[in-house]
């Protein structure tokens, strides 16, 4: 194996979506003790709320985003912290941590990226009146899962 082949480089031929879906399902199971079902993104319109963003740098370059309604982020926080989670700050922290864990789980499933890919600190945008534009040019894929019957969108954008 050469040094170049040790890096997991995304290519248009590879399908990264099943890996992202598996990483998402595992994090929901571990952190919230629940199964999430995949949903068609066209069936569920996401009402504004929160979008968590985690950057990837190194063997993979891009971003992972996780978007859900404010109420859903609150339910995620309660699942992680118990019934004492009742503030918007706790919802923001919980969503950022979930996005961070999904990004980390995703990169760890790819050979050669665990030590050669770094994650940024999560950032969270709140509100519904914004458009997210990533400067990453390359592959973009999205999965939508239902958490307590509410849609949660996880998007991966990787630079070629």
- Domain range summary for the chain, segments of one domain joined by +: 17-132
> What is the average pLDDT across 48-75?
91
Dihedral sign of CA atoms 52, 24, 28, 116 in order:
negative
Q: Which of 105, 30, 33, 116 is nearest to 66 (CA)?
A: 105
CATH code for residues 17-132: 3.40.1550.10
Characterize the bridge pairing of strands 150-159 and 117-119. unpaired
In 1-158, which residue ranges form alpha helices assigned H by DSSP?
Answer: 17-32, 70-81, 88-108
Q: Which of 95, 78, 74, 85 is nearest to 27 (CA)?
A: 95
- Alpha-carbon distance of 48 to 51, in angstroms, equals 9
> What is the average pLDDT across 102-131?
85
Going by pLDDT thresholds of 50, 70 and 90, the confidence category of residue 46 is low
Tell me if 54 sits within 8 A of 120, measured CB to CB. yes
Q: Which of 9, 38, 45, 34 is nearest to 22 (CA)?
A: 38
Going by pLDDT thresholds of 50, 70 and 90, the confidence category of residue 6 is very low
Per-residue model confidence as pLDDT tens digits over 70-87: 999 999 999 998 887 778
Q: Rounded to 10 degrees, what is the CA torsion of 23, 47, 52, 158? A: 60
- Alpha-carbon distance of 141 to 83, in angstroms, equals 34
pTM of the model: 0.85
> What is the average pLDDT across 15-44?
88
Instruction: Name the token pair of 46.
Output: 């996401």
The percent of residues in the chain predicted with pLDDT above 90, rounded, is: 53
């Amino acid at each position: 194996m050469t040094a170049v082949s040790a890096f997991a480089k995304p290519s248009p031929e590879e399908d990264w979506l099943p890996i992202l879906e598996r990483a998402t399902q595992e994090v929901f199971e571990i952190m919230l003790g629940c199964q999430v079902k995949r949903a068609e993104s066209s069936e569920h319109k996401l009402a504004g709320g929160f979008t968590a963003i985690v950057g990837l740098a190194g063997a993979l370059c891009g971003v992972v985003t996780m978007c859900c309604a404010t109420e859903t982020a609150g339910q995620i926080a309660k699942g992680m912290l118990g019934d004492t989670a009742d503030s918007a700050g706790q919802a923001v922290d919980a969503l950022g941590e979930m996005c961070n864990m999904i990004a980390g789980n995703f990169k760890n499933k790819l050979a050669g990226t665990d030590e050669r890919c770094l994650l940024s600190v999560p950032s969270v945008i709140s509100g519904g009146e914004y458009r997210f534009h990533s400067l990453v040019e390359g592959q973009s894929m999205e999965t939508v899962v239902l958490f307590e019957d509410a849609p949660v969108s996880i998007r991966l954008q990787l630079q070629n």
